[in-house]
Amino acid sequence: MTCAACETTVADAALAAGAARARARAKLGTLVISGDTLPTDSAIDRALDGTPYSLGTRAWLTKERRVWRDVALAGIVVGLAAIAFATTGFGDMLQAVTRNAGSGSLLLVVMLGVTASVSTCMALVGGLVISLAASAAPTARLRPHLAFNAGRILGFTALGAIVAAVGSAIAPSGPVLAATMIVVAAVMGLLGARLTGLSPRLAAWQFSLPASWGSWTRHTRLTDRGGGLARPAALGAATFFLPCGFTQAVQVMALTSGSATRGALLMGAFAVGTTPGLLAAATASSAARNPKAAPALRAIGVLVLAFAVTTASGALHSLFPGLAGEQITATERTANVTDVGGVQRATVEIVGAGYSPKNTVVYAGEPVEWVLDPSVISCASLVDAKELGVADFDVVSGPATVSLTLKHPGTYTYNCRMGMYTGTITAIDRPDASAAGTG
């Protein structure tokens, strides 16, 4: 059982079988009956004929070969698609359109939203939308998805004005951000596992509202003038607070825009850009509710699981930077480091794939002028460099320069605030000049 309507169906069957009182609980997968004379299990099972339900114990793993086959094929397709996406540079090409988004062009901010809808925003917002749409009742149609995106656009517009007015405190960062990502990943992982159908027992472990709250989440009839659509609209607006790096980058743009009107336009334009991708994902998942589309539903489950793994990986790297760190063995500075006025200038470019070069080598004990130059606006534009002794900073509106001195040799890791992209600065001792001149 997955909803209040399911509970009603099962309870009604028990009453029809002869129970005086019956209460089904979807979250627990149980039916509690009482009365002077109780019906037998077989009587209740007969009463459940014609419904999707029966009495029994759920298995941990399904024995249906076609389910395993569908999931395996979906995993291969998703894996090949991920490899193709990375090797063809499609993501970089799309993000290149946002090269000058920091200049404030609303069209470029819209394109930034389009980019987000096929990357981190899809992994967070889209992952939930896909799984929830696929799990929705068959009566769910396009209207709630339209309401969700309309609420997202209006909510982002209003909250963009607030961000411009009150500052960046509205956007989570650091441990709070990572914890939020882990919660989101756990929800997506459970929903994805349910959709694959591999574990009937796991499918019973679900997040659901109490039955008494069921009416809050259900759609109203077509005769209702939209009251029931306020809920998905409010949910869409609330995604403003999910830790998508692209969203936070535009929040920073809104913060520095100088006016509430400009902040509202920037955030609204970004939400408009994300709409086509999210709407397409939700529509496809709703279509998969057709019983004949079970393989497609399992494929969606695999995709949601992939999103969950990506999200959790980013959160863990953010909480434990050492997981992504590596010790670099080097004897000379990298080519991106030059001497300017007695200071080592290390220039790192922000690109679609993160930081370029990923590894920078400087001399220990000498001042460094670290320049980050954004060729695109992405998650990597929001930098967490605590290992370098530098507070969080952003590289959204243009190049950022940070002054630091690494007194001790070693490898220091920095990353985007979501933990998806990492880079290193390795400090080494300057080679002895006399030794370098011999041989």
pLDDT at 264 over 70: yes
> Mean of the pLDDT values across residues 98-125?
63
Q: What is the pLDDT of residues 274-331, one digit of tens each?
A: 888 888 777 666 655 555 667 777 887 787 788 778 777 767 776 676 555 555 677 8
Q: How far apart are CA 184 and CA 124, in angstroms?
A: 7
For position 104, what pLDDT does the model report? 46
Q: Kind of pairing, strands 422-428 and 359-363?
A: parallel
- The domains of the chain, with CATH numbers, are 4-47 (no CATH), 65-319 (no CATH), 337-437 (2.60.40.420)
> Mean of the pLDDT values across residues 254-278?
84
User: When comparing pLDDT for 121 and 398, which is higher?
Assistant: 398
**pTM for the complete prediction?**
0.57
Q: How far apart are CA 45 and CA 58, in angstroms?
A: 15
Task: Please provide the DSSP assignment of 275-295 as one string.
Answer: HHHHHHHHHHHHHTTSGGGHH
Q: How far apart are CA 398 and CA 375, in angstroms?
A: 9
Between the alpha carbon of residue 173 and those of residues 61, 110, 373, 417, the distances in Å are 38, 24, 22, 7
27 closest CA partner among 294, 213, 282: 213
> Mean of the pLDDT values across residues 146-169?
85
Share of the chain above pLDDT 90, in %: 26
For position 171, what pLDDT does the model report? 55
Contacts of 96 (CB under 8 A, 6+ apart): 352, 375, 376
Q: How far apart are CA 163 and CA 170, in angstroms?
A: 7
Give the model's confidence band at 223: pLDDT under 50 very low, under 70 low, under 90 confident, else very high: very low
pLDDT at 219 over 60: no
pLDDT at 105 over 80: no
pLDDT at 133 over 60: no
The mean of the pLDDT values for the chain is 77
Q: How far apart are CA 150 and CA 131, in angstroms?
A: 20
The H or E element spanning position 244 is: none
